[in-house]
Amino acid sequence: MASENLNFFTFWLLVDSNFVLRANFNYELNEYVFAVETDSEIKDLFVDPGPPDGVDDPDAPYDYGELEISNLDRLRLVLPEEAFLRFPEVFQEYLDSLPDLRKFITLAVIEQDGDTTSWICVFDTPRRDNKNITASYSAADDFKFSLTD
């Protein structure tokens, strides 16, 4: 919202949910003057006391993005069919236990050592600590996951 006369241009800034600044720009002096808006009628034009848009039920679960795994077909060649089919579900459960919302993963460095297959699940958007997930599967131990450097 803005208003203007010959010497001043006035505009308002919503700083947070209930704090409004009034700014006046003086054309002749080429200067700004800021003040806290105290007029409740003007503040009401900016401040919406209702809940944020789209929030109808605060108890509704938030739906995170679907898990997307690049190179997943490479595991089909090295895992038993039953384990290959279960991997996305088991991996999703592990991801849900982490305080991390990243859901785009690329599989890399798949190795076999005896009856154990291991691989690295690389986050497509790197973590700040640059950690990824090392995964392994063996018929005796099932799936194991850990965060590694």
**Residue 121's pLDDT is what?**
95
Q: Where in the chain is the domain with CATH 3.10.450?
A: 68-148
**Residue 24's pLDDT is what?**
86
The segments of the chain whose pLDDT lies below 50 read: none
What separation in angstroms does the CA of 52 have from each of 11, 47, 57, 58, 129?
Answer: 24, 12, 11, 11, 32
Q: The tokens of 104 are what?
A: 């785009």
**Residue 44's pLDDT is what?**
78
CATH number of 68-148: 3.10.450
Which residue bears the tokens 């290959």? 84
**Residue 82's pLDDT is what?**
95
Cβ atoms of residues 31 and 25 within 8 Å: yes
**CA-closest candidate to residue 68, choices 98, 100, 91:** 91
**Residue 63's pLDDT is what?**
53
Residue pLDDT, tens place only, 59-86: 555 555 788 999 999 999 999 999 999 9
**Residue 123's pLDDT is what?**
93
**CA-closest candidate to residue 70, choices 109, 106, 123:** 106
**Residue 134's pLDDT is what?**
96
